[in-house]
Structure 1
């Protein structure tokens, strides 16, 4: 008993440490965000919010037009990163696809602040459907990221070398030292890169080896990079007040601010970017005008492309809903050209819409904190009763807080969250009319609601919003929002001396007390709702499935595309179902890992929900969720979760419709098959249930095979020799002289499209070539029954390409595959399956971390070997 208590205590501490490590990067980003807000508040001390608002309203339309034109040119330059990268890897794609996919990826990724995730997901969806594999997509993403990082550094340092005083306000060095250092770093970056490009050398960076791009690609990318950084800087530059700062000087400031925002990992660099720009401005620059320019820059360079991309996606979704007929003429050709990219981006809509709703919630909440400055607001305060004015401010803050929380449900594709968001946006539009007759806000919310409507089918999960705890990232984000409320409240009303009676002052013109009450209400709504979500989250304790769960899983697996779904019925894995019970995930627990075997099983909508429930349940217990041996069809879902993919090997799938023993290519296989028949080998397929005598005979073969191999029964990814398991399936028997010398159980589903085998065992004295005969004869028999494909199983570590990926895991796996013959016959297994001319399909391990997954694979090995670190316990459902 004492040992169990100590073990539980240790596991508790381990879980806490795991959760802290998972939350640490988010906490650091939140701390930097808070520091950025504090620095920004100090820098904006002399600024009045009314002056900033007035400056924005008086900005000439000609200036806005120039800023929008610079933004358009900048985004077109951004797509050049992908164009150059595709040429670099030798797989160029049609320009309409690159333009559409690139513009959508950057419009969403830049604004949300997660371009590495959302941009990579977009690229995978677009490019994988056009012949590129995971290595190619990773190469494109890496090329784009490295190109931007190098270009921003070189451009910023180059501008700093020309005008070393640009960052004098924030750098403690003399102008000559800054110029010399900048030139030295630029030379250290550019000269080796040009030399490597000219000589086509391979550049080694630590453990990675990269082929330098050709001169044409290099110079083309230099132009794209200069255009990208130059036009994005120009967008802000034309909005800044006219002053003594030149464009090259400002370019150094802009590059430094951009890199600071990226390194902070704060979404969009909010607070950090603005702090660097304001701090680096000349002493005489009017801070209120700089602040207005920064706000307009955020709206122009980030929000406008985001809204346009979202609108285009909404129109495409509406077009699909009404039938998706392609018109004739030039319009039809344009739709045909861009439709593959739009179709690939469409599944990311829930995440993008969640970010949109989150932003709308911030907007509604901040609107209640900031005093209205338009004439219509003053008219409204004069015409409407006090209760309407006060109530609309409180309702605005409450609805804004609700939208912020609903966004979490939208990320999870929650159907109820979708309808709640629509209702809250409609209510917010009505409230905006009473809260200062804010027609602009009401119209904007109405348009956002119209954009939302076509995406109803994307929100198809029935998971309750209170069914999962907030992740560390969301919890920290909520706290950051409350901190931002305080920043806006104090900045907007810093000229009003604080007093306790401010809370109780009710009058039409008393805006500061109204803002205090609205801010308090919004913080309470968010804080209390978050607490409810944290407390109501149910716990899932892994345990062996009961008979009802196995029967439910059997019904779902029967309708699956791949027979591997039937491994859920072995009884050695826990099962976790979607809320509607239409899909499940099978998994085992070892160490700190919850490892699912394969992807979720069931209809696509319910399968995604089951996978999400599994991931959240594992994280709630402080464990590492992982998906073992998933196929390409599950990759988009894993990218949606933000998981990293590691290739485990390749599955050999034989197309039975084309399989035969005829032709010169099958000469060796045909000869081996004929020799086996001459030796007296025959195939018989025994249908379940099997007789006790047959099971005893097969048990003798199995025991002898295990003894000869010095092995024991395994689990998790394979079945075990038990009567209950074998009586579920037909068994292929190889007879020799009337005696059974080999067997394999055949797994199929009701669809019958693909079959595979699980246990394959033979007697020690079986004739040579027995197993090859079993495969050949069984495939011919299944083909005669109308089965379309046969899976020979996976060749572990096969197909890894370390020269392309430069990843530690691929290098390690390829080394083991080549030299690990003493432990496992990797190459021999691949060669055996190659005899049947299969189609090789990649299989992946999906894990939350980008680090090499050695710990997860070690835990998976324990599961396959029959070990587990968790003691079975009762399965619990809702905590409430």
Structure 2
């Protein structure tokens, strides 16, 4: 049985990878003559009004998916506000559109958010399972329309006859689900439970149909924006077939599989390849990537560090899914890091925006028509420095320190102001203030005073700084060499000296910025515990007792940490950014969890890592509950001193 489970887990990884490799191979054959550079230029050339409307429709399409969660809320009677349901739905669905392996991303996120709002976790697991599977119901409805030729795609099905079997298979999902629901309804328990789950499947069918209709409208409008005025019935038919292919491929978000099938289907109907590919890229931007970015904003606001710890320490994202599922373990690791690092990712993107504003001659808004050369040099250098700081800061923002918050606000405001003075990219005018407002709203999440870093993390930060600065020089130099004859004076990249001076300023300003903030916040950090006090130690031991190592507290080289109830004591020493605790707590055993929790919380807030040295076997379970791993350093033995020798 175990071998079968492991084989299934491996198959769940191998299958989507194999599909993805096949899609890449097919795409390479199909798109040989396509220029993706021209595709992006076409999208950039769209009327801003049309693009705005398309983005709005894409956001409405993702918002429509919240209907699933409202059905779940009212069917299970979850005690949660509608606003919170909408945010949870947006996070789960936008992450699902990008990272979902057949909907597993949404399963884990919903389980994590909703389990605090119900006592019946078993019913919640079943409800989320219903919700996830019900996403197929709307697709099944449209598959019935395809099979009945209401959505005519005969050319596509004639070219790929095996698709008939897939369409028929999906068409059968709806009647089978209705039959299963009716059978379960008959076998239901008491009247109260029967009323609680009264016909949720019909509500889920409505939600699913709404989801696929909205998604189909987005892809249709994307084609329309590219000048493809196709019959909406044909477009929906091809869209249904492509969506089925993306669903069964298990590739995250259906990327590649959906796109290739839609491209081939529309080509069979006689439309130009480049316009179709541009439409697909546009669809992905407005339906997947922009909502995903907004989902990061919601995640940054709703996910506190305690919430993420509960997810990270949970051996399963949902009790309904087996722990032997290797694919789930990999996805959980990715989800945890993306969710916890959502704010870090947003700041990193802000850094890229400011860097692009410094480097690229794109649409700009200038407040100084003719910038004096010295001022231009200064603004360029400060803008570049702000961009590099924002690219490095996510390493510490991930740890939610007060220092990182102040540095991020300073760098964002500086990047906006200095870029604005020299000529700011118009898109950044809207993005950067939004990120600043988000940071201000999340200020309470930044509770740690400092953070500890490994040598590897510091090397990574230095490497990131070097690579970003190097790429800036490459990009800016390339633009200067290729476009110096056509660039307007307002664009800063109009002389080699600007690039050189900005680079020199960044090399000086960025390290100085981090050094100053580190020193300022280092002085603000208070010591943990108190100095060794032999008299207080003796009084404590007389009242509460000690252990085999407590007498070493009289040496005076360690600090003391007493629990809030005064019944437990830890002795520790400080080495760099690490606190090494000697042995187990002393005092009354019932206060050991309290003193450990208080000590670890305070150490965490002040940016220290905590190690425990020479603990006893009896208390290993206690440390395990706090997430510790164990390392055997040596042995302790009793010897007969009369016969013992060093030889």
TM-score w.r.t. the length of structure 1 is: 0.44
What's 2:343 paired with? Answer: 353
Q: Displacement of 1:419 after TM fit?
A: 1.2
* Partner residue of 2:354 out of 361, 364, 381: 364
For 1:217, which of 159, 178, 200 is the aligned residue?
A: 200
**How much does 1:602 deviate?**
1.1
* 1:567-586 paired onto structure 2 within 5 Å: none
Q: Is the 8 A contact 1:239 1:296 kept in 2?
A: no
Partner of 1:628: none
Distance 1:256 1:225 in 2: 14
Contact kept in structure 2, 1:584 and 1:602, CA below 8 Å:
no
Paired residue for 1:429? Answer: 416
Aligned residues: 505
- Counterpart position of 2:619: 716
Deviation at residue 79 of structure 1 after TM alignment: 3.2
Structure 2 residue corresponding to 1:451, chosen from 415, 431, 438: 438
Distance 1:579 1:408 in 2: 17
Secondary structure class of the residue paired with 1:413? coil
Instruction: Supply the distance in 2 between the matched residues of 1:146 and 1:160 (Cα, whole angstroms).
Output: 21
2: CA distance between counterparts of 1:554 and 1:871? 26
Task: Give the 3-state SS of the residue equivalent to 1:372 in structure 2.
Answer: coil
Residue of 558, 561, 564 corresponding to 1:555: 561
Q: Summarize the Cα distance change of 1:432–1:499 in structure 2 as closer, same or farther, 3 Å threshold.
A: closer
- The Cα of 1:431 is off from its aligned counterpart by 2.8
Measure how far apart 1:459 and its partner are. Answer: 0.7
Deviation at 1:147, TM superposition (A): 3.6
Pair 432,291 (structure 1): closer, same or farther in 2 beyond 3 Å = farther
Q: Name the SS for the 2:344 alignment partner.
A: helix
Is the alpha carbon distance of 1:429 and 1:270 closer, same or farther for their aligned partners in structure 2, counting shifts above 3 Å?
A: farther
Q: Report the alpha carbon displacement of residue 409 of structure 1 after superposing the two structures with TM.
A: 1.8
Gaps in structure 2 of 5+ consecutive residues: 1-9, 188-193, 305-337, 515-547, 586-591, 637-647
Q: Structure 1 residues 613, 604: closer, same or farther in 2, change over 3 A?
A: closer
CA 1:263–1:179: 2 relative to 1, 3 Å: closer
Q: Could you report, residue by residue, the CA deviation over 1:671-702 in whole angstroms, capped at 9, with x for unpaired residues? A: xxxxxxxxxxxxxxxxxxxxxxxxxxxxxxxx
Q: Which has the higher helix share?
A: 2
* 3-state SS of paired residue (1:384): coil
Preserved contact between residue 399 and residue 424 of structure 1 (Cα < 8 Å): yes
Q: In structure 2, how many angstroms separate the alpha carbons of the residues matched to 1:478 and 1:42?
A: 35
- Pairing 1:100-499 to 2, within 5 Å after superposition: 100-111=83-94, 120=108, 124=112, 127-128=115-116, 130-132=117-119, 135=122, 138-148=125-135, 150-151=136-137, 154=140, 161=147, 174-175=158-159, 177-187=161-171, 189-200=173-184, 216-240=199-223, 241=225, 242-243=227-228, 244=230, 246=232, 247-249=235-237, 251-252=239-240, 255=243, 259=247, 263-265=250-252, 281-282=266-267, 283-284=271-272, 286=275, 288=278, 291-292=281-282, 294-297=284-287, 301-303=291-293, 351-374=341-364, 376=365, 383-385=370-372, 396=383, 398-438=385-425, 441-464=428-451, 466-467=453-454, 469=456
Q: Deviations over 1:427-454 (max 9, x none)?
A: 1101321453445524542343233224
8 Å CA contact retained: 2:371, 2:422: no
Tell me if structure 1 keeps the 8 A contact 2:363–2:426.
no
Rounded Cα–Cα distance in structure 1 between residues aligned with 2:206 and 2:246: 19
Q: Structure 1 stretches of 5 or more lacking a match? A: 1-20, 204-210, 315-347, 533-543, 588-595, 619-712, 720-842, 848-855, 874-880
In the TM superposition, residue 217 of structure 1 has moved relative to its aligned partner by: 1.8
Deviation at 1:55, TM superposition (A): 0.3
Aligned 1:638-717 pairs, distance under 5 A: 715-717=618-620
> Using the alignment, how far apart are the partners of 1:119 and 1:577 within structure 2?
43
Name the structure where strand makes up a greater proportion of residues: 1
Q: 1:189 to 1:478 in 2, by over 3 A?
A: farther
Q: 1:603 to 1:714 in 2, by over 3 A?
A: closer
Secondary structure at the counterpart of residue 602 of structure 1: helix
TM-score, length-normalised on structure 2?
Answer: 0.57
CA contact (8 A) 1:50 1:373 kept: no
Match of 1:764 in 2: none
Contact preservation (8 Å) 2:107, 2:132: no
Deviation at 1:425, TM superposition (A): 0.5
Matched, 1:80 2:63: no
| Residue-by-residue CA offset, 1:62-97 (whole Å, 9 max, x unaligned) | x45xx636634642x433333444566xx4125xx2
Structure (1 or 2) with the larger CA radius of gyration: 1
Contact 1:402 1:424 in 2 (8 A): yes
Cα distance in 1, alignment partners of residues 617 and 202 from structure 2: 56
Distance in 2, Cα, partners of 1:53 & 1:224: 34
**RMSD in angstroms over aligned alpha carbons?**
6.4
Contact 1:120/1:141 (<8 A) preserved: no
Q: 1:111 to 1:81 in 2, by over 3 A?
A: closer
**Aligned counterparts, 1:803-818, within 5 A:** none
**Structure 1 residue 371: Cα displacement:** 3.0
TM-aligned CA distance change 1:556 to 1:388, over 3 Å: same
Shift of 1:119: 7.9
Note if contact 1:583-1:603 (Cα within 8 Å) is conserved in structure 2: no
Question: After superposition, what is the alpha-carbon deviation per residue over 1:118-141, rounded to whole angstroms, capped at 9, x for unaligned?
Answer: 98567645542x442655555554
Identify the residue that residue 78 of structure 2 maps to in structure 1. 93
Sort the Cα spacing of 1:300 and 1:177 in 2 relative to 1 into closer, same or farther, 3 A: same
